């Protein structure tokens, strides 16, 4: 028995655009639209990634339209978060920390850790961040990378800042795609200060409507992001812009 005429080529289609409409509608509905932005309140991921992109996303009046590939990646991660995190006694802890700098500027940074698990070998608590990247090719070679590392370090720092899990000093990034990679990340006592430094900078830029005080760009491969200006002249100016922090 054959599935097609051996004398004719198989009718194969490739690409997310061929998903049946009911599945596409479900993906859009399940994600619930864009996360609302609040003045002077910033998410950890927002301030750790490119600040110029965060700035343009905040000031944009356009609703973000995700590609089907992006929808699937976000949906996959959210689904596994929802299914796996509750397997652990301590899961989905949200942290909100507010600070005021010497200029009198007050901002709040918020973030959510995935779960805490007692390592079966050492019997020590470990804070985990679960990631579902499209590929593990570079993760197998280089580990979690800058942004994943800083994110989980920030969550541990936030927990300590509010007096929680003070006996935990280890964190890991668990990355799952076609295989599994777990990267043991060292604790960084200075990471939360770094995050707030960036949050204060973004807050000032938004309040003064002055993007030029921001670092840029920090993710050059994202220079065609939906909220960033697309002309080459701006990108070159952004790439050459002096870095005021690092």
CA 185 to chain centre: 17
Tell me if 159 sits within 8 A of 107, measured CB to CB: no
pLDDT at 132 over 80: yes
Query: So what's the pLDDT on residue 246?
Result: 32
pLDDT at 1 over 70: no
Higher pLDDT, 28 or 190: 190
Tens of pLDDT, residue by residue over 19-29, are: 899 998 888 88
Mean pLDDT of the chain: 85
Tell me if 66 sits within 8 A of 74, measured CB to CB: yes
Q: How confident is the model at residue 184 (pLDDT cuts 50, 70, 90)?
A: very high
For residue 142, the tally of other CB atoms under 10 A from its CB is 10
* Full set of structural domains in the chain with CATH: 25-239 (3.90.320.10)
Distance from C-alpha of 97 to C-alpha of 135, rounded to nearest angstrom = 33
Tens of pLDDT, residue by residue over 55-106, are: 888 887 666 677 888 888 888 888 888 999 999 999 999 999 999 999 999 9
Tell me if 113 sits within 8 A of 43, measured CB to CB: no
């Amino acid at each position: 028995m054959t599935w097609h005429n051996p004398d004719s080529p198989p009718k194969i289609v490739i690409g997310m655009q061929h998903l049946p409409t009911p599945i596409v509608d479900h993906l859009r509905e399940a994600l619930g639209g864009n996360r609302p932005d609040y003045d002077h309140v910033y998410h950890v991921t927002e301030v750790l990634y490119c600040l110029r992109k965060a700035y343009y996303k905040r000031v944009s009046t356009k609703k973000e339209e995700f590609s089907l590939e992006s929808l699937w990646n976000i949906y996959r991660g959210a689904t596994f978060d929802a299914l796996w995190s509750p397997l652990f006694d301590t899961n989905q802890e949200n942290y909100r920390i507010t600070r005021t700098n010497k200029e009198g500027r007050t901002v709040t940074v918020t973030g959510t850790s995935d779960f805490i698990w007692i390592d079966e070998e050492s019997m020590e608590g470990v804070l985990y961040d679960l990631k579902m990247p499209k590929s593990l090719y570079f993760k197998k070679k280089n580990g979690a990378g800058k942004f994943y590392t800083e994110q989980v370090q920030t969550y541990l720092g936030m927990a300590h800042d509010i007096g929680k899990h003070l006996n935990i000093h280890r964190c890991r990034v668990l990355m799952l795609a076609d295989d599994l990679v777990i990267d043991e990340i060292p604790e960084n006592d200075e990471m939360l200060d770094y995050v707030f430094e960036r949050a204060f900078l973004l807050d000032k830029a938004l309040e003064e409507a002055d993007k030029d005080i921001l670092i840029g760009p920090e993710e050059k491969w994202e220079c065609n992001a939906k909220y960033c200006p697309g002309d080459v002249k701006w990108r070159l100016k952004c790439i050459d812009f002096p870095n005021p922090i690092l």
